[in-house]
Amino acid sequence: MKRYFGTDGIRGRVGEWPITAEFMLKLGRAVGAVLARRGGAVNVVIGKDTRVSGYMFESALEAGLVAAGAGVSLLGPMPTPAVAYLTRSLRASAGIVISASHNPHHDNGIKFFSAQGEKLDDALEEAIEAELEAPFATVASEAIGKVVRVRDAASRYAEFCKSTVPSTLDLRGLSIVLDCAHGATYQIAPTVFAELGAKVSAIGNQPDGLNINREVGSTHPQALARAVVAAGADLGIAFDGDGDRVQMVDRHGALVDGDQLLYVLATDWQASGRLRGPLVGTLMSNYGLERAMRALGVPFLRANVGDRYVLQMLKQHGGVLGGETSGHILTLDRVTSGDAIVSALQVLDVLVRTRRTLDEAVVGCAKVAQITVNVRVAGGASALVADADVQATFERVRAELEGQGRVVLRPSGTEPLVRVTVEAGDAVVVERLAAELADAVKSAASRSVG
Protein backbone atom coordinates (compact mmCIF):
# COMPACT_ATOMS: atom_id res chain seq x y z
CA MET A 1 0.00 0.00 0.00
CA LYS A 2 1.30 3.44 -0.98
CA ARG A 3 1.23 6.10 1.69
CA TYR A 4 0.51 9.18 -0.41
CA PHE A 5 -0.41 8.20 -3.97
CA GLY A 6 -4.04 7.34 -4.58
CA THR A 7 -6.04 6.51 -7.69
CA ASP A 8 -5.15 9.81 -9.33
CA GLY A 9 -1.98 11.17 -7.76
CA ILE A 10 -1.86 12.84 -4.35
CA ARG A 11 -4.93 14.80 -3.29
CA GLY A 12 -6.44 16.38 -0.18
CA ARG A 13 -7.47 19.56 1.57
CA VAL A 14 -5.15 22.54 1.26
CA GLY A 15 -3.16 23.12 4.44
CA GLU A 16 -3.66 19.57 5.71
CA TRP A 17 -0.79 17.10 5.34
CA PRO A 18 0.31 16.22 2.74
CA ILE A 19 -1.26 19.10 0.79
CA THR A 20 1.09 21.65 2.33
CA ALA A 21 3.93 23.80 1.02
CA GLU A 22 6.41 21.90 3.21
CA PHE A 23 5.42 18.54 1.73
CA MET A 24 5.48 19.88 -1.84
CA LEU A 25 9.02 21.13 -1.32
CA LYS A 26 10.07 17.66 -0.20
CA LEU A 27 8.08 16.03 -2.99
CA GLY A 28 9.79 18.15 -5.62
CA ARG A 29 13.22 17.16 -4.33
CA ALA A 30 12.23 13.49 -4.13
CA VAL A 31 10.96 13.47 -7.73
CA GLY A 32 14.10 15.22 -8.95
CA ALA A 33 16.36 12.80 -7.10
CA VAL A 34 14.56 9.69 -8.38
CA LEU A 35 14.66 10.94 -11.98
CA ALA A 36 18.34 11.88 -11.66
CA ARG A 37 19.22 8.30 -10.74
CA ARG A 38 18.04 7.25 -14.18
CA GLY A 39 20.89 9.21 -15.73
CA GLY A 40 21.05 12.20 -18.03
CA ALA A 41 19.73 15.74 -17.62
CA VAL A 42 16.39 16.08 -15.84
CA ASN A 43 13.75 18.58 -16.87
CA VAL A 44 10.23 18.63 -15.46
CA VAL A 45 7.27 20.63 -16.78
CA ILE A 46 4.71 22.00 -14.32
CA GLY A 47 1.16 23.04 -15.16
CA LYS A 48 -1.73 23.91 -12.88
CA ASP A 49 -5.42 24.69 -12.86
CA THR A 50 -6.91 27.97 -11.60
CA ARG A 51 -7.01 27.33 -7.83
CA VAL A 52 -5.43 30.09 -5.79
CA SER A 53 -3.35 27.52 -3.89
CA GLY A 54 -1.65 26.56 -7.15
CA TYR A 55 0.72 29.51 -6.82
CA MET A 56 1.99 28.23 -3.48
CA PHE A 57 2.46 24.64 -4.57
CA GLU A 58 4.04 25.60 -7.89
CA SER A 59 6.71 27.58 -6.05
CA ALA A 60 7.36 24.81 -3.53
CA LEU A 61 7.65 22.09 -6.16
CA GLU A 62 9.90 24.32 -8.26
CA ALA A 63 12.24 24.91 -5.32
CA GLY A 64 12.45 21.21 -4.47
CA LEU A 65 13.12 20.19 -8.05
CA VAL A 66 15.92 22.68 -8.65
CA ALA A 67 17.45 21.74 -5.29
CA ALA A 68 17.75 18.22 -6.69
CA GLY A 69 19.39 19.55 -9.85
CA ALA A 70 16.35 19.32 -12.14
CA GLY A 71 15.43 21.97 -14.68
CA VAL A 72 11.85 23.24 -14.55
CA SER A 73 9.59 24.52 -17.33
CA LEU A 74 6.54 26.42 -16.07
CA LEU A 75 3.41 26.21 -18.23
CA GLY A 76 1.02 28.28 -16.12
CA PRO A 77 -2.73 27.44 -16.09
CA MET A 78 -3.02 24.48 -18.41
CA PRO A 79 -5.38 21.48 -18.77
CA THR A 80 -4.06 18.18 -17.45
CA PRO A 81 -3.94 16.58 -20.91
CA ALA A 82 -2.02 19.61 -22.20
CA VAL A 83 0.69 18.84 -19.64
CA ALA A 84 0.76 15.24 -20.87
CA TYR A 85 1.18 16.43 -24.45
CA LEU A 86 3.76 19.11 -23.65
CA THR A 87 5.79 16.67 -21.55
CA ARG A 88 6.28 14.63 -24.72
CA SER A 89 6.57 17.60 -27.07
CA LEU A 90 9.22 19.34 -24.97
CA ARG A 91 11.12 16.06 -24.42
CA ALA A 92 10.80 16.49 -20.65
CA SER A 93 11.68 13.81 -18.12
CA ALA A 94 8.27 14.11 -16.44
CA GLY A 95 5.24 16.35 -16.13
CA ILE A 96 3.48 17.60 -13.01
CA VAL A 97 -0.09 18.90 -12.79
CA ILE A 98 -1.21 20.86 -9.73
CA SER A 99 -4.93 20.17 -9.59
CA ALA A 100 -7.71 18.45 -7.69
CA SER A 101 -9.69 17.99 -10.91
CA HIS A 102 -13.43 18.23 -10.19
CA ASN A 103 -13.05 18.99 -6.46
CA PRO A 104 -13.79 22.42 -4.87
CA HIS A 105 -11.09 25.09 -4.51
CA HIS A 106 -10.22 24.13 -0.93
CA ASP A 107 -8.80 20.84 -2.23
CA ASN A 108 -5.71 20.46 -4.36
CA GLY A 109 -3.43 17.71 -5.54
CA ILE A 110 -0.51 16.61 -7.64
CA LYS A 111 -0.62 14.38 -10.71
CA PHE A 112 2.39 13.10 -12.61
CA PHE A 113 3.11 12.10 -16.18
CA SER A 114 6.02 10.07 -17.47
CA ALA A 115 8.23 11.22 -20.34
CA GLN A 116 5.76 9.40 -22.62
CA GLY A 117 2.85 11.50 -21.34
CA GLU A 118 1.31 8.64 -19.39
CA LYS A 119 0.44 8.19 -15.72
CA LEU A 120 3.36 6.95 -13.62
CA ASP A 121 3.60 3.24 -12.96
CA ASP A 122 3.39 1.87 -9.43
CA ALA A 123 7.13 1.21 -9.22
CA LEU A 124 8.05 4.85 -9.86
CA GLU A 125 5.43 6.12 -7.41
CA GLU A 126 6.81 3.75 -4.78
CA ALA A 127 10.37 4.97 -5.48
CA ILE A 128 9.24 8.59 -4.97
CA GLU A 129 7.55 7.70 -1.69
CA ALA A 130 10.70 5.94 -0.49
CA GLU A 131 12.80 8.99 -1.40
CA LEU A 132 10.49 11.21 0.64
CA GLU A 133 11.84 9.47 3.75
CA ALA A 134 15.41 10.56 2.95
CA PRO A 135 16.84 13.77 4.46
CA PHE A 136 16.39 16.88 2.34
CA ALA A 137 19.63 17.46 0.45
CA THR A 138 20.61 20.13 -2.08
CA VAL A 139 23.02 19.44 -4.92
CA ALA A 140 26.18 21.52 -5.29
CA SER A 141 25.55 25.13 -6.25
CA GLU A 142 26.84 24.71 -9.79
CA ALA A 143 24.42 21.77 -10.32
CA ILE A 144 21.24 23.53 -9.14
CA GLY A 145 18.51 23.45 -11.78
CA LYS A 146 17.20 26.43 -13.73
CA VAL A 147 13.63 27.56 -14.36
CA VAL A 148 12.06 28.83 -17.58
CA ARG A 149 8.50 29.81 -18.49
CA VAL A 150 7.06 28.32 -21.68
CA ARG A 151 5.39 31.33 -23.29
CA ASP A 152 3.68 29.53 -26.17
CA ALA A 153 2.32 26.55 -24.21
CA ALA A 154 -1.35 27.39 -24.86
CA SER A 155 -0.94 27.87 -28.61
CA ARG A 156 1.13 24.67 -28.90
CA TYR A 157 -1.60 22.67 -27.23
CA ALA A 158 -4.43 24.32 -29.17
CA GLU A 159 -2.77 23.38 -32.46
CA PHE A 160 -2.30 19.83 -31.22
CA CYS A 161 -6.00 19.51 -30.35
CA LYS A 162 -7.00 20.62 -33.85
CA SER A 163 -4.55 18.15 -35.38
CA THR A 164 -6.46 15.21 -33.87
CA VAL A 165 -9.40 15.67 -36.27
CA PRO A 166 -9.34 15.74 -40.09
CA SER A 167 -8.28 19.04 -41.62
CA THR A 168 -11.58 18.96 -43.50
CA LEU A 169 -13.65 19.20 -40.30
CA ASP A 170 -15.72 22.38 -40.56
CA LEU A 171 -17.89 23.41 -37.61
CA ARG A 172 -19.44 26.39 -39.36
CA GLY A 173 -23.17 26.49 -38.79
CA LEU A 174 -22.83 24.72 -35.43
CA SER A 175 -23.77 26.69 -32.32
CA ILE A 176 -21.98 25.47 -29.17
CA VAL A 177 -22.04 26.53 -25.53
CA LEU A 178 -18.86 25.68 -23.62
CA ASP A 179 -18.74 25.35 -19.83
CA CYS A 180 -15.13 25.67 -18.73
CA ALA A 181 -15.82 25.16 -14.98
CA HIS A 182 -13.82 28.34 -14.20
CA GLY A 183 -10.88 26.00 -14.68
CA ALA A 184 -7.88 25.27 -16.84
CA THR A 185 -9.71 25.20 -20.19
CA TYR A 186 -11.15 28.70 -19.87
CA GLN A 187 -8.81 30.26 -22.45
CA ILE A 188 -7.92 27.37 -24.73
CA ALA A 189 -11.27 25.64 -25.33
CA PRO A 190 -13.18 28.65 -26.76
CA THR A 191 -10.25 29.37 -29.08
CA VAL A 192 -10.05 25.80 -30.43
CA PHE A 193 -13.74 25.44 -31.26
CA ALA A 194 -14.04 28.95 -32.69
CA GLU A 195 -10.99 28.45 -34.93
CA LEU A 196 -12.68 25.34 -36.35
CA GLY A 197 -15.65 27.49 -37.33
CA ALA A 198 -18.20 26.98 -34.58
CA LYS A 199 -20.28 29.78 -33.13
CA VAL A 200 -19.09 29.65 -29.52
CA SER A 201 -20.47 31.11 -26.33
CA ALA A 202 -18.93 30.28 -22.96
CA ILE A 203 -19.91 30.06 -19.32
CA GLY A 204 -17.64 29.17 -16.41
CA ASN A 205 -14.84 31.13 -18.06
CA GLN A 206 -14.16 33.74 -15.35
CA PRO A 207 -11.89 32.03 -12.79
CA ASP A 208 -11.04 33.94 -9.62
CA GLY A 209 -9.05 31.22 -7.84
CA LEU A 210 -11.97 30.20 -5.65
CA ASN A 211 -14.87 29.46 -8.01
CA ILE A 212 -13.42 26.46 -9.86
CA ASN A 213 -16.15 23.79 -10.34
CA ARG A 214 -18.60 25.84 -8.29
CA GLU A 215 -22.06 25.01 -9.71
CA VAL A 216 -20.55 24.72 -13.19
CA GLY A 217 -18.59 22.21 -15.24
CA SER A 218 -19.01 18.51 -15.91
CA THR A 219 -20.00 17.77 -12.31
CA HIS A 220 -22.78 20.39 -12.41
CA PRO A 221 -24.19 20.18 -15.96
CA GLN A 222 -27.44 21.89 -15.03
CA ALA A 223 -25.90 25.30 -15.69
CA LEU A 224 -24.87 24.22 -19.17
CA ALA A 225 -28.29 22.70 -19.88
CA ARG A 226 -29.99 25.99 -19.04
CA ALA A 227 -27.53 27.95 -21.16
CA VAL A 228 -27.98 25.67 -24.20
CA VAL A 229 -31.76 25.89 -24.10
CA ALA A 230 -31.72 29.66 -23.50
CA ALA A 231 -29.35 30.21 -26.43
CA GLY A 232 -31.11 27.77 -28.75
CA ALA A 233 -27.70 26.16 -29.31
CA ASP A 234 -27.11 22.86 -31.08
CA LEU A 235 -25.30 21.38 -28.10
CA GLY A 236 -23.20 22.13 -25.05
CA ILE A 237 -19.85 20.83 -23.86
CA ALA A 238 -18.85 20.81 -20.18
CA PHE A 239 -15.30 20.32 -18.93
CA ASP A 240 -14.11 19.78 -15.38
CA GLY A 241 -11.63 22.00 -13.59
CA ASP A 242 -8.50 20.45 -15.08
CA GLY A 243 -9.88 19.57 -18.50
CA ASP A 244 -9.64 15.78 -18.56
CA ARG A 245 -13.38 15.09 -18.20
CA VAL A 246 -16.13 15.99 -20.64
CA GLN A 247 -19.90 15.75 -20.56
CA MET A 248 -22.27 17.07 -23.22
CA VAL A 249 -25.79 18.43 -23.37
CA ASP A 250 -28.02 18.01 -26.42
CA ARG A 251 -30.13 20.74 -28.02
CA HIS A 252 -33.02 19.94 -25.66
CA GLY A 253 -30.87 20.32 -22.54
CA ALA A 254 -30.57 16.57 -21.85
CA LEU A 255 -27.30 15.32 -20.40
CA VAL A 256 -25.12 13.05 -22.55
CA ASP A 257 -22.59 11.42 -20.22
CA GLY A 258 -19.34 9.56 -20.79
CA ASP A 259 -21.04 6.21 -21.43
CA GLN A 260 -23.18 7.71 -24.19
CA LEU A 261 -20.22 9.55 -25.72
CA LEU A 262 -18.32 6.26 -25.82
CA TYR A 263 -21.30 4.73 -27.61
CA VAL A 264 -21.27 7.48 -30.25
CA LEU A 265 -17.56 6.98 -30.90
CA ALA A 266 -17.57 3.17 -30.73
CA THR A 267 -20.42 2.74 -33.20
CA ASP A 268 -18.85 5.11 -35.73
CA TRP A 269 -15.34 3.76 -35.32
CA GLN A 270 -16.51 0.19 -35.71
CA ALA A 271 -18.23 1.09 -38.99
CA SER A 272 -15.16 2.92 -40.28
CA GLY A 273 -12.63 0.35 -39.12
CA ARG A 274 -10.95 2.71 -36.67
CA LEU A 275 -12.02 0.71 -33.61
CA ARG A 276 -9.47 -1.87 -32.52
CA GLY A 277 -9.75 -4.27 -29.61
CA PRO A 278 -12.46 -4.04 -26.98
CA LEU A 279 -14.28 -0.99 -25.68
CA VAL A 280 -13.16 -0.62 -22.05
CA GLY A 281 -15.43 0.87 -19.41
CA THR A 282 -15.31 0.59 -15.64
CA LEU A 283 -17.23 -1.03 -12.82
CA MET A 284 -19.43 2.08 -12.90
CA SER A 285 -20.26 2.01 -16.64
CA ASN A 286 -23.99 1.69 -17.23
CA TYR A 287 -25.24 -1.76 -18.14
CA GLY A 288 -27.02 -0.19 -21.12
CA LEU A 289 -23.66 0.55 -22.75
CA GLU A 290 -22.51 -3.04 -22.28
CA ARG A 291 -25.77 -4.30 -23.76
CA ALA A 292 -25.49 -1.95 -26.76
CA MET A 293 -21.93 -3.09 -27.46
CA ARG A 294 -22.97 -6.73 -27.27
CA ALA A 295 -25.67 -6.08 -29.88
CA LEU A 296 -23.02 -4.57 -32.19
CA GLY A 297 -20.59 -7.42 -31.64
CA VAL A 298 -18.07 -5.15 -29.90
CA PRO A 299 -16.25 -6.77 -26.94
CA PHE A 300 -16.80 -4.81 -23.72
CA LEU A 301 -14.52 -5.05 -20.69
CA ARG A 302 -14.74 -3.41 -17.27
CA ALA A 303 -11.68 -2.02 -15.48
CA ASN A 304 -11.47 -0.76 -11.93
CA VAL A 305 -12.61 2.83 -11.48
CA GLY A 306 -9.93 5.31 -12.55
CA ASP A 307 -8.67 6.25 -15.99
CA ARG A 308 -5.25 4.74 -15.23
CA TYR A 309 -6.91 1.31 -14.95
CA VAL A 310 -8.85 1.85 -18.16
CA LEU A 311 -5.54 2.73 -19.84
CA GLN A 312 -3.87 -0.39 -18.48
CA MET A 313 -6.66 -2.65 -19.73
CA LEU A 314 -6.71 -1.01 -23.17
CA LYS A 315 -2.98 -1.62 -23.51
CA GLN A 316 -3.29 -5.20 -22.33
CA HIS A 317 -5.95 -5.96 -24.95
CA GLY A 318 -4.79 -3.77 -27.83
CA GLY A 319 -7.71 -1.37 -27.55
CA VAL A 320 -7.90 2.30 -28.51
CA LEU A 321 -11.16 3.50 -26.94
CA GLY A 322 -12.36 3.46 -23.37
CA GLY A 323 -13.43 5.64 -20.50
CA GLU A 324 -15.65 6.37 -17.55
CA THR A 325 -19.23 7.53 -17.08
CA SER A 326 -17.82 10.72 -15.55
CA GLY A 327 -16.35 11.69 -18.92
CA HIS A 328 -12.75 10.50 -18.73
CA ILE A 329 -12.45 9.27 -22.31
CA LEU A 330 -9.32 7.72 -23.77
CA THR A 331 -8.77 7.80 -27.53
CA LEU A 332 -5.36 6.19 -27.62
CA ASP A 333 -4.85 6.56 -31.36
CA ARG A 334 -4.83 10.32 -30.75
CA VAL A 335 -3.69 10.97 -27.16
CA THR A 336 -1.99 9.19 -24.28
CA SER A 337 -4.39 10.26 -21.52
CA GLY A 338 -7.95 11.45 -21.01
CA ASP A 339 -8.36 14.73 -22.92
CA ALA A 340 -11.70 16.52 -22.72
CA ILE A 341 -11.15 18.88 -25.65
CA VAL A 342 -9.84 16.14 -27.94
CA SER A 343 -12.68 13.79 -26.94
CA ALA A 344 -15.27 16.47 -27.66
CA LEU A 345 -13.70 17.08 -31.07
CA GLN A 346 -13.87 13.37 -31.88
CA VAL A 347 -17.61 13.38 -31.12
CA LEU A 348 -18.21 16.52 -33.19
CA ASP A 349 -16.34 14.92 -36.08
CA VAL A 350 -18.80 12.00 -35.98
CA LEU A 351 -21.84 14.29 -35.78
CA VAL A 352 -20.71 16.48 -38.67
CA ARG A 353 -19.77 13.56 -40.94
CA THR A 354 -23.00 11.65 -40.25
CA ARG A 355 -25.15 14.80 -40.27
CA ARG A 356 -26.85 13.85 -37.01
CA THR A 357 -27.68 15.84 -33.94
CA LEU A 358 -26.29 14.68 -30.60
CA ASP A 359 -29.68 13.40 -29.42
CA GLU A 360 -30.06 11.37 -32.62
CA ALA A 361 -26.59 9.86 -32.25
CA VAL A 362 -27.24 8.39 -28.78
CA VAL A 363 -30.62 6.79 -29.51
CA GLY A 364 -29.19 3.26 -29.64
CA CYS A 365 -27.72 3.44 -26.14
CA ALA A 366 -30.65 2.73 -23.83
CA LYS A 367 -29.36 3.23 -20.30
CA VAL A 368 -30.88 1.41 -17.35
CA ALA A 369 -31.73 3.16 -14.10
CA GLN A 370 -28.63 3.76 -12.01
CA ILE A 371 -28.20 5.47 -8.66
CA THR A 372 -24.94 6.28 -6.90
CA VAL A 373 -25.08 7.28 -3.24
CA ASN A 374 -21.90 8.84 -1.83
CA VAL A 375 -21.61 8.20 1.90
CA ARG A 376 -19.12 10.64 3.42
CA VAL A 377 -17.02 9.11 6.19
CA ALA A 378 -14.44 10.40 8.63
CA GLY A 379 -11.90 7.84 7.49
CA GLY A 380 -11.33 4.14 6.96
CA ALA A 381 -13.57 3.84 3.89
CA SER A 382 -12.00 0.50 2.93
CA ALA A 383 -12.64 -0.91 6.40
CA LEU A 384 -16.29 0.14 6.21
CA VAL A 385 -16.70 -1.62 2.88
CA ALA A 386 -15.29 -4.78 4.49
CA ASP A 387 -17.55 -4.50 7.58
CA ALA A 388 -19.45 -7.77 8.16
CA ASP A 389 -22.91 -6.16 8.33
CA VAL A 390 -22.21 -4.05 5.22
CA GLN A 391 -21.04 -7.13 3.34
CA ALA A 392 -24.14 -9.07 4.42
CA THR A 393 -26.39 -6.31 3.08
CA PHE A 394 -24.32 -6.15 -0.10
CA GLU A 395 -24.72 -9.88 -0.72
CA ARG A 396 -28.48 -9.67 -0.15
CA VAL A 397 -28.78 -6.78 -2.62
CA ARG A 398 -26.64 -8.60 -5.17
CA ALA A 399 -28.80 -11.73 -4.88
CA GLU A 400 -31.98 -9.71 -5.44
CA LEU A 401 -30.49 -8.09 -8.56
CA GLU A 402 -29.06 -11.28 -10.03
CA GLY A 403 -29.89 -11.51 -13.71
CA GLN A 404 -31.46 -8.05 -13.91
CA GLY A 405 -28.89 -5.56 -12.65
CA ARG A 406 -25.65 -4.85 -10.79
CA VAL A 407 -24.46 -3.46 -7.48
CA VAL A 408 -21.04 -1.89 -6.82
CA LEU A 409 -19.68 -0.97 -3.39
CA ARG A 410 -16.29 0.70 -3.25
CA PRO A 411 -14.21 3.29 -1.37
CA SER A 412 -13.44 6.42 -3.36
CA GLY A 413 -9.85 6.76 -4.50
CA THR A 414 -9.91 10.58 -4.28
CA GLU A 415 -12.25 11.55 -1.42
CA PRO A 416 -13.29 10.23 2.05
CA LEU A 417 -16.36 8.52 0.60
CA VAL A 418 -17.90 5.10 0.22
CA ARG A 419 -19.70 4.93 -3.13
CA VAL A 420 -22.83 2.77 -3.41
CA THR A 421 -24.06 2.15 -6.97
CA VAL A 422 -27.10 0.11 -7.96
CA GLU A 423 -28.51 -0.32 -11.47
CA ALA A 424 -31.42 -2.28 -12.93
CA GLY A 425 -34.39 -1.85 -15.23
CA ASP A 426 -36.79 -0.96 -12.40
CA ALA A 427 -36.02 2.51 -11.02
CA VAL A 428 -38.09 1.93 -7.87
CA VAL A 429 -36.11 -1.19 -7.01
CA VAL A 430 -32.85 0.61 -7.71
CA GLU A 431 -33.72 3.46 -5.36
CA ARG A 432 -34.81 1.11 -2.57
CA LEU A 433 -31.76 -1.13 -2.72
CA ALA A 434 -29.30 1.77 -2.97
CA ALA A 435 -30.85 3.35 0.13
CA GLU A 436 -30.66 0.08 2.07
CA LEU A 437 -26.99 -0.46 1.29
CA ALA A 438 -26.12 3.18 1.96
CA ASP A 439 -27.89 2.96 5.33
CA ALA A 440 -25.82 -0.11 6.19
CA VAL A 441 -22.62 1.84 5.46
CA LYS A 442 -23.82 4.78 7.55
CA SER A 443 -24.62 2.46 10.47
CA ALA A 444 -21.18 0.89 10.26
CA ALA A 445 -19.59 4.35 10.18
CA SER A 446 -21.54 5.35 13.31
CA ARG A 447 -20.39 2.23 15.14
CA SER A 448 -16.77 2.84 14.23
CA VAL A 449 -16.96 6.41 15.58
CA GLY A 450 -18.69 5.26 18.73
Active-site amino acid positions: 101
Q: How many CA atoms, within 13 angstroms, populate the side-chain half-sphere of residue 330?
A: 30
CA 146 → CA 73, 234, 334, distances in Å? 9, 48, 32
Q: What stretches of 250-287 adopt beta strand conformation (E)?
A: 255-256, 279-282
> Distance between CA 161 and CA 192 in Å, rounded?
7
Residue 267 CB coordination number (10 Å): 21
In three-state secondary structure terms, 247 is: strand
3-class SS of residue 177: strand
- Between CA 325 and CA 334 the distance in angstroms is 20
Supply the DSSP symbol for 402: T
If 0-12 CB within 10 Å is exposed, 13-18 middle and 19+ buried, where does residue 254 land? Answer: middle
State how far Cα 416 lies from the chain centre: 18
Closest CA to 108 of 199, 228, 18, 31: 18
Give residues with Cβ within 8 angstroms of 159, minimum separation 6: none
Sign of CA dihedral 101, 105, 109, 112: positive
Distance CA 21, CA 322 (A): 36
**Is it true that the peptide bond before 18 is cis, omega within 30 degrees of 0?**
yes
